[in-house]
A and B are shown apart, each in its own frame.
Chain A
Amino acid sequence: GNSVTQMEGPVTLSEEAFLTINCTYTATGYPSLFWYVQYPGEGLQLLLKATKADDKGSNKGFEATYRKETTSFHLEKGSVQVSDSAVYFCALSAQGGSEKLVFGKGTKLTVNP
């Protein structure tokens, strides 16, 4: 079946450090890929997405590139801020499926000043 595996946390970084959170997936065909973020005390919200191979999603300085050859969608940011502290979830929506999201376990990021 479809699944998402993401880097286990927690991850602790200093402000302005470089961030990578790894995400790989298993799915048939060409799923759509997403990163969702959950800030403390808030609901899940979409951070970025990519719907086909080689697409790059970007938002708020975060980027992720859909790599079909490595079945990956790693999240990166060049310089993190304290306000980026949150839990990040990688997810997929299967091609031709029921539009449900399949999530990874989440990675908690803490950024210290």
Chain B
Amino acid sequence: GAGVSQTPSNKVTEKGKYVELRCDPISGHTALYWYRQSLGQGPEFLIYFQGTGAADDSGLPNDRFFAVRPEGSVSTLKIQRTERGDSAMYLCASSQTGTGATEAFFGQGTRLTVV
């Protein structure tokens, strides 16, 4: 596709349930990032993939959060035993090389609401 695609655009789930959020990056981009944005705040880093491997997962808040990118393209962010505090916009971005000065292209996000 032309840009970074995230699905679903909205997800409402009950507390305690498991959710998966999908990111389809720009074709050929080796670097992929997940961020979380709460209302009125800037995006906060969760995890960074270079190819298939997680190069930096220091932003994952706890072990309920996990992400994969098995073939170096599509990535899935997985949240177990969701809590109301997990409600936020989850953003995915990709870039060509992952070097610090390279432009990151963002998807429109998945808005997760835990009720």
Residues in A lying within 8 Å of B, measured CB to CB:
4, 31-32, 36, 42-46, 49, 51, 89, 91, 93-106
- Between B35, B43, B103, the greatest number of chain A beta carbons within 10 A of the residue's beta carbon is seen for B43
Is the CB–CB distance between B100 and A94 below 8 Å?
A: yes
Rounded to whole angstroms, the CA-CA distance of A44 and B101 in the bound complex is 16
Classify the secondary structure of A's interface with B: loop
Measured in the bound complex, the distance between the Cα atoms of B93 and A96 in whole Å is: 19
A95 and chain B: residue at smallest CB distance: B100
Query: In the complex, what distance in Å separates the CA atom of A100 from the CA atom of B3?
Result: 19
Residue of A nearest to B107 (CB): A43
Contact A43–B48 (Cβ < 8 Å):
no
Contact of B104 among A46, A51, A104, A105 (CB under 8 A): A46
Interface residues on B, range: 20 to 34
B99 part of interface (Cβ distance < 8 Å) = yes
Chain B, 5-34, contact with A by CB distance < 8 Å: what is the 0/1 string?
000000000000000000000000001010
Contact B108 A43 (CB under 8 A): yes
- Docked-complex contact A103 and B44, CB < 8 angstroms: yes
Does the CB pair B45–A101 fall under 8 Å?
Answer: yes
Q: Are B100 and A32 in contact (CB under 8 A)?
A: yes
Is B112 among interface residues, defined by CB-CB distance under 8 A? no
Q: How far is the CA of A96 from the CA of B45 in the complex (A)?
A: 16
Closest CB in chain B relative to A109 CB, distance in Å: 15
